[in-house]
Structure 1
């Protein structure tokens, strides 16, 4: 980490609550969460928004994780690629998650899922190029405006967080790194 962060012993108030919740859920405080403590007053609101987006995601947790993996690849963010590959693998299996990370268009996904991930990818790469035809394509495969908004929120927020984590030097914890060196290399799309 490039910035001084707040240790577990130093954390107070809302930041201590964020740390405790993550320790309870994951067994430790992730480097990503710890990186937010460089600005302690923003850690709880950022975490709350992430949880509200993820837990209330209209398309379900599997779609949320597919979006975050595709966005992480295109930001590019090694940290988020490793973390979300692990999370998506629990839903789809390891090989399917690898196929999605490699090229979601040829991963055996439905037309609807490909359209969702194309939109998320465009948000990560250059959202200024999105126009009404992108939205009409999503509506054409059955997405409601609420679902389209959720895709945009998830992709935009992951882009923001991934860039923040890289900017302050957060690195993936060993438990998120795949045992296969070739897979680790595939997921290392940006900063090591």
Structure 2
């Protein structure tokens, strides 16, 4: 449990109230991680502006797949649950369940799996990555801009996920999420086998 004194929804004004309203519209509730990061609302809005620029360029499906893979590699239950909820707006629960359990065996295209593998590598050992990692994405049809977008999406997830984990922010379970999906999103999938790296634990 975090020691931070967060602004309640009833107390929120100005930029903080705006941030809370945005989450109520997109998620149906205001999670604790939003309340924690909104203690500096200007910085939080700047980060949201960055992620919106990335997702609008990359496309929502790709952005959410990269985010789910990155959050899993980081060990961020907060982001897995929040983005699992968001992903249900663009795919069925059945498809998301398969991805949450093992995206390598979820019927995704080879390009989508490679993109998610790349996100996992970035979030676990970015210093070990080489041109071979980006070349794999290029060989599967991604443009240089798309490769940069995928990289920035995964890297941006590290900022929010690791910040929330470091501050021991409470975990909120999205409303109306099935127990089966919640369990799949919260179950670690390690070791992850990534081409070129083998098993990541």
Q: TM-score when scaled to structure 1?
A: 0.84
2:147 paired residue number: 148
TM-fit CA distance, 1:132: 0.3
Unpaired runs of 5+ in structure 1?
A: none
TM-fit CA distance, 1:22: 3.2
TM-fit CA distance, 1:171: 3.3
Shift in CA distance, 4/189, structure 1 to aligned 2, threshold 3 Å: farther
1:18 paired residue number: 19
Q: Which has the higher helix share?
A: 1
* 1:55-74 matched pairs, under 5 angstroms: 56-58=56-58, 60-74=59-73
- Across the aligned residues of Structure 1 and Structure 2, the Cα RMSD in angstroms comes to 2.3
Partners of 2:186 and 2:133 in 1: CA distance: 29
2:159 paired residue number: 160
TM-fit CA distance, 1:36: 0.8
Which shifted more, 30-39 or 166-175? 166-175
Partners of 1:104 and 1:25 in 2: CA distance: 25
SS in 1 for 2:108: coil
Q: Say whether 1:4 aligns with 2:5.
A: yes
TM-fit CA distance, 1:11: 3.5
Partners of 1:26 and 1:83 in 2: CA distance: 8
Partners of 1:25 and 1:89 in 2: CA distance: 11
Partners of 1:7 and 1:156 in 2: CA distance: 29
Partners of 1:26 and 1:65 in 2: CA distance: 14
> What CA deviation, in whole Å up to 9, does each residue of 1:116-135 have, x standing for no partner?
11111111111111110111
* 1:74-153 matched pairs, under 5 angstroms: 74-153=73-152
Unpaired runs of 5+ in structure 2?
A: 189-201
2:184 paired residue number: 186
Shift in CA distance, 102/20, structure 1 to aligned 2, threshold 3 Å: closer
> What CA deviation, in whole Å up to 9, does each residue of 1:134-190 have, x standing for no partner?
11111101101100011001111112211112222333434357322x543332247
| Alpha carbons 1:15, 1:44 under 8 Å: kept | no
TM-fit CA distance, 1:109: 1.3
Q: TM-score when scaled to structure 2?
A: 0.81
TM-fit CA distance, 1:9: 4.3
TM-fit CA distance, 1:78: 1.0
